[in-house]
């Protein structure tokens, strides 16, 4: 991925009046977001608030109402938004014969991965893995990776096409406190040094307070409050969702 | 008694005497076409966790034939293929809508369809006419049918080369595949139809009862010992071919139906690879 001195500040992602309905149930309603490049945006909220649904809607995996717009004010042209996505986990069993190379090559290349290893693809993958100090994982089986290793591999894959927007589902299992710290530092480093915006679902309010530029409080399918961590954590809406003690973090 | 040609006499002494019969030569060619087909398709079915799906499809062959008979079709095979495609599309839709209890739902549809098929075909005590379909008979394959098999193999190879990566990406994470602009829904439907076509077109030779074993066993054995996708696909292909050829030869000498013998060899390979896999782990 192309490294820059800092984000260009010229493009942004606008979500307007987004709603998701599955059958009779309204999962998300009237979501409005304005995400700038070079910012780290954390979505927090209780279980069942619709956090994952929001990510899936932005990804285009779920049909939604409303508009998601990508604006590039630098040259005035509308380009197609490239989205990188890091899921929480993979659908992978023990003993699955898929190496890290295989997995990334499946998503990144049309050359049949089960026939032969392509040297060109291998070099590209190694380069991406190197940014996350994960190049030694290239030939390891994906099912044998630790939670932290898998996150690094998935992050490497997500930034390979220089995305404008990086969507992340924070890992909740298989990762220890030290790994979590490393995860947040890596994300922070990414948004500081590359030209992209990050939207992150988070379960850890302490880390959010420390690293996020903007906190989005989602509950009951809609945004209750958004702004700086300090503002959101001190708000009555936050207290209503997480209880009075929830704000005493960070 | 007929005179043996020089070539046949040569074969008699070499352990290849089973090749002197036309039907065995045709069956041998059929094995060389069907087993790689199943080896390749199996890797994708096992990778997509669709073993149950292909099993249900195999069972639906009876219903398709029954429908053909009821509708008075001259060749019930067409009815069978059309029914299987419809069935595959339906099962695929259920799987994508109802993730929690897919296996139960597939099982319900599968049992229901097999019951309807059996009921119709057994009416008037005529079922014995169709019982050959249960075990299949690879020795009955004709040269024209070999051409069909070659065409199916070519189509499968094409799908494998063009969409194998996508299918693997889809198995690993659907939303992630979608975010990479992989046409996931279309891919799922095309694959379901391909599996339906292959199962239906080869069921006559392999048989309803064991077709799924042939699809699943080589890939499952290969998974026991493989660490990456290249090994997985390679060993699956080798195991499928090996069990096919060895099963055919053993069945000739022991006078046992070929399909079951191939499955027995494939099962032995599975157990051997399982033990070997445990040892190296």
pTM here? 0.85
A45: left (phi over 0), alpha (psi -120 to 50) or beta: left
Distance (Å, rounded) from C-alpha B139 to C-alpha A17? 65
Exposed/middle/buried for B7, CB within 10 Å: 0-12, 13-18, 19+? exposed
For residues B135 and A16, which has the higher predicted lDDT (pLDDT)? A16
Contact B225, B48 (CB under 8 A): no
Q: Give the number of A-B residue pairs with CB atoms closer than 8 Å.
A: 90
Check CB contact of B104 with chain A, cutoff 8 Å: no
- For residue B37, pLDDT over 50 is answered with yes
Nearest C-alpha neighbor of A218 from the set A206, A203, A230: A203
If DSSP states are collapsed to H, E and C, what string results for A58-124? Answer: HHCCCCCEEEEEEEECCCCCCCCCCEEEECCCCCCCCCCCCEHHHHHHHHHCCCCCCCCCCHHHHHH
Domain positions in chain B are 22-280
Check CB contact of B157 with chain A, cutoff 8 Å: no
Query: Cβ B43–A114 below 8 Å, yes or no?
Result: yes
Contact A110, A170 (CB under 8 A): no
If DSSP states are collapsed to H, E and C, what string results for chain B? Answer: CCCCCHHHHHHHHHCCHHHHCHHHHHHHHHHHHHHHHHHHHHHHHHHCCCHHHHHHHHHHHHHHHHHHHHCCCCCHHHHHHHHHHHHHHHHHHHHHHCHHHHHHHHHHHHHHHHHHHHHHHHCCCCHHHCCHHHHCCHHHCCHHHHHHHHHHHHHHHHHHHHHHHHHHHHHHCHHHHHHCCCCHHHHHHHHHHHHHHHHHHHHHHHCCCCHHHHHHHHHHHHHHHCCCHHHHHHHHHHHHHHHHHHHHHHHHHHCCCHHHHHHHHHHHHHHHHHHHHHHHC
Average pLDDT, chain B: 86
Check CB contact of B274 with chain A, cutoff 8 Å: no
User: What percent of chain B is predicted at pLDDT more than 90?
Assistant: 37
Query: Cβ B229–A97 below 8 Å, yes or no?
Result: yes
- For residue B144, pLDDT over 50 is answered with yes
Distance (Å, rounded) from C-alpha B18 to C-alpha A206? 75
A169: left (phi over 0), alpha (psi -120 to 50) or beta: beta
Of the pLDDT bands very low, low, confident and very high (cuts 50, 70, 90), residue B191 is: very high
- From the CA of B229, how many Å to the nearest CA of chain A? 5
Q: Where do we find the tokens 């993958």?
A: A125
Whether the ipTM is more than 0.90: the answer is no
Domain positions in chain A are 1-82+164-250, 87-161
Angle, CA of B203, B205 and B186, to the nearest 5°: 35
The pair of three-digit structure tokens given for residue A245, joined into one six-digit string? 């003690």
Q: What residues of A are in contact with residue B180 (Cβ under 8 Å)?
A: 107
State the architecture of A1-82+164-250 in CATH terms. Answer: 3-Layer(aba) Sandwich (3.40)
Q: What residues of B are in contact with residue A85 (Cβ under 8 Å)?
A: 175-176, 179
The minimal CB distance from B228 to the residues A56, A91, A97 is found for A97
Q: If DSSP codes are grouped into helix, strand and coil, which group holds residue A146?
A: coil
Distance (Å, rounded) from C-alpha A102 to C-alpha A138? 9
Q: Which residue of B has its CA nearest to A110?
A: B165
- For residue A158, pLDDT over 50 is answered with yes
Contact B200, B84 (CB under 8 A): yes
List, for residues A192-209, the tens digit of each pLDDT value. 878 888 998 888 888 888
Q: How confident is the model at residue A249, as a pLDDT? A: 45
For residues A242 and B271, which has the higher predicted lDDT (pLDDT)? B271
Distance (Å, rounded) from C-alpha A117 to C-alpha A143? 20
Q: Which residue of A has its CA nearest to B168?
A: A106
Of the pLDDT bands very low, low, confident and very high (cuts 50, 70, 90), residue A247 is: very low
Q: If DSSP codes are grouped into helix, strand and coil, which group holds residue A6?
A: coil
Q: What residues of A are in contact with residue B171 (Cβ under 8 Å)?
A: 91
Query: Cβ A116–B180 below 8 Å, yes or no?
Result: no
- For residue A129, pLDDT over 70 is answered with yes
The pair of three-digit structure tokens given for residue A135, joined into one six-digit string? 């190049």
- From the CA of B56, how many Å to the nearest CA of chain A? 23
Range in A68-72, A75-79, A180-184 with the lowest mean pLDDT: A75-79
Range in A34-38, B236-240, B267-271 with the lowest mean pLDDT: A34-38
State the architecture of B22-280 in CATH terms. Answer: Orthogonal Bundle (1.10)
Q: What residues of B are in contact with residue A59 (Cβ under 8 Å)?
A: 175, 178-179
Q: How confident is the model at residue A172, as a pLDDT? A: 62
Which of B173, B221, B224, B238 to mutate to probe the A interface, most A CBs <10 Å? B173
Q: What residues of A are in contact with residue B41 (Cβ under 8 Å)?
A: none
Query: Cβ B277–A95 below 8 Å, yes or no?
Result: yes
Q: What residues of B are in contact with residue A56 (Cβ under 8 Å)?
A: 175
Which of B160, B228, B276 to mutate to probe the A interface, most A CBs <10 Å? B228
Distance (Å, rounded) from C-alpha A152 to C-alpha A157? 9
Query: Cβ B168–A90 below 8 Å, yes or no?
Result: no
Kind plus residue range of the DSSP H or E element containing A185: helix A177-193
The strand pairing partners of A160, in sequence order, are: none
């Amino acid at each position: 991925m192309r490294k820059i001195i800092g984000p260009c500040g010229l493009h942004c992602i606008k979500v307007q009046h987004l709603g998701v309905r599955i059958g009779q149930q309204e999962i998300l309603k009237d979501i409005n977001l304005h995400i700038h490049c070079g910012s780290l945006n954390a979505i927090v909220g209780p279980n069942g608030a619709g956090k994952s649904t929001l990510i899936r809607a932005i990804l285009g995996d779920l049909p939604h109402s409303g508009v998601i717009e990508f604006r590039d004010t630098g040259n005035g042209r509308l380009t197609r938004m490239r989205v990188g996505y890091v899921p929480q986990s993979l659908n992978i069993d023990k003993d699955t014969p898929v190496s890290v190379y295989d997995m990334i090559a499946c998503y990144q290349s049309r050359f049949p991965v089960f026939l032969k290893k392509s040297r060109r693809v291998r070099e590209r993958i190694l380069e991406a893995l190197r940014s996350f100090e994960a190049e030694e994982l290239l030939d390891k089986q994906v099912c044998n990776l630790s939670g932290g290793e898998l996150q690094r591999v998935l992050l490497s894959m997500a930034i390979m096409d220089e995305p404008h927007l990086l969507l992340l589902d924070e890992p909740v299992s298989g990762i220890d406190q030290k790994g979590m710290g490393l995860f947040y530092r890596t994300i922070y480093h990414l948004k500081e040094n590359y030209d992209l915006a990050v939207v992150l679902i988070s379960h850890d309010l302490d880390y959010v307070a420390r690293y996020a530029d903007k906190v989005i409080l989602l509950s009951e399918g809609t945004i209750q409050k958004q702004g700086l961590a300090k503002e959101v954590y001190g708000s009555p809406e936050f207290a209503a969702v997480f209880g009075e003690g929830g704000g005493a973090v960070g | 008694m007929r005179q043996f040609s020089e070539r046949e006499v040569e074969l008699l002494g070499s352990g290849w005497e089973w090749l002197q019969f036309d039907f065995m030569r045709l069956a041998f060619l059929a094995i060389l076409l069907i087993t790689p087909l199943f080896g390749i398709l199996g890797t994708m079915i096992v990778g997509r966790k669709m073993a149950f799906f292909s099993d249900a499809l195999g069972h639906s062959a009876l219903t398709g034939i029954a429908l053909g008979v009821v509708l008075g079709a001259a060749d019930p095979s067409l009815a069978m293929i059309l029914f299987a495609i419809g069935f595959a599309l339906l099962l695929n839709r259920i799987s994508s809508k109802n993730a929690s209890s897919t296996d139960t739902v597939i099982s319900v549809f599968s049992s229901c369809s097999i019951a309807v098929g059996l009921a119709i075909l057994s009416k008037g005590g005529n079922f014995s006419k169709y019982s050959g379909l249960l075990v299949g008979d690879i020795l009955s394959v004709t040269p024209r049918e070999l051409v069909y098999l070659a065409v199916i193999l070519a189509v499968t190879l094409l799908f494998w080369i063009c969409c194998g990566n996508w299918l693997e990406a889809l198995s690993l994470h659907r939303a992630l595949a979608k975010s990479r602009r992989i046409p996931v829904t279309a891919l799922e439907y095309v694959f379901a139809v391909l599996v339906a076509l292959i199962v239906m077109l080869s069921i006559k030779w392999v048989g309803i009862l064991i077709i799924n074993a042939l699809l699943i066993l080589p890939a499952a054995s290969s998974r026991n010992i493989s660490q990456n996708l290249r090994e997985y696909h390679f060993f699956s292909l080798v195991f499928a071919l090996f069990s096919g050829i060895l099963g055919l030869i053993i069945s000739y000498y022991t006078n046992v139906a070929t399909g079951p013998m191939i499955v027995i060899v494939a099962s032995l390979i599975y157990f051997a690879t399982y033990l070997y896999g445990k040892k190296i782990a």
